[in-house]
Structure 1
Amino acid sequence: GHKRMKNVLKAWIASHTNLVYWQGLDSLCAPFVYLNFNNEALAYASLSAFIPKYLNNFFLKDNSLIINEYLAVFSHLIAFHHPDLSNRLETIGFIPDLYAIPWFLTVFAHVFPLNKIFHLWDMLLLGGSSFPLCIGVAILTQLKALLLKADFNECILLFSELPEIDIERCVRDSIDIFASTPRSCTYREHASDLTNYQINNDLV
């Protein structure tokens, strides 16, 4: 398995010369290798299609502009859906830079086990490039009661060992957040053009 993943990653890096390996790319690759264990070419093709849609330019050598914009939009989304939580986290200085970068850089593959990732990504693939942001807000929704009472150090501890997240609820909440968020709230200058997907009304 490790050799197959290494082959897929080497092929991806070799064919995307403007991009570089960032820590977490192996976590992002793992679901595709697992699902296409005997077909490295398909695993590579899946990874190559996934990254431009959800992680456009995240793997540039200098990705600071892209990451900063993404986290700024995430902060706006938290404030839009949970102003009390946003205010609390801002007051204690617990900003998304401290916990959310591994979430978004790996589209949560670094956070959740594979069985949960498959369930989450099944829904993700129906949504636009902003859907990972909605998943992030959905995770905070589940942790909200704890976070509102926590100080800075307790927040750091909480996110270093993330409590059990109900993935079914996370998916449902993500859909609701996606559906109730004005598009202007999730606009990103650095987003891919491959973003104009809407979740089917049957799912909302």
Structure 2
Amino acid sequence: MTPPAERRPGEAGRAAAPLEAVLFDRDDTLVVDVPYNADPALVRLMPGAREAVRLLREHGVATGVVSNQSGVGRGLLTAADVRRVNRRADALLGGLDVWVFCPHAPDEGCACRKPAPGLVLLAARRLGVAAERCAVVGDIGADVDAARAAGARGVLVPTARTLAEEVTAAPHTAPDLLTAVRGLLDGTRPQRVPARQGRPEGGSR
């Protein structure tokens, strides 16, 4: 069983709603990030991704993806490109229940781009699950902030691209994807992980 992390101030006595769905970020969470990827042949799973999805499926927990894809808004790829990449990732992962993405550029001011809650709320609605019964697992602060804004639980799984301040600010962290999912299923607090070097400039989100 994953050891519980320390509670943050204000968490004492707060009972979490039963978990019905886990929503994942896509790039650097489920699949290796290839900036503005339009080629399904380049899709590679992150370590433990297929096993994490399978474990949730075995426990009857719905799964989905909530992903910022600003390359569409920047004119670097099309929505059809994103869907083709998503279909390849879905096949490699064994099939998730819902995939939603934000196609807007960061300066468009939409309500769906993480850290806004729109993607999380949309995915929860399509699954027929209340947002507070969802968890969002991702690798950057925007994933956790979107979860918080939607009333869902957020778990950060840091990578080399995760900023140190994002790790420090995250309510829950886990050292890897499978540990994060096991902790959510066990009802334990995912363990804290140390902050690391921040991500470089650029990227596809």
By the TM > 0.5 criterion, same fold? no
TM-score, with structure 2 as normaliser: 0.27
* TM-score normalised over the length of structure 1: 0.27
Q: Which has the higher helix share?
A: 1
Q: Give the number of the structure whose alpha-carbon radius of gyration is greater.
A: 1
Greater fraction of residues in strand: 2
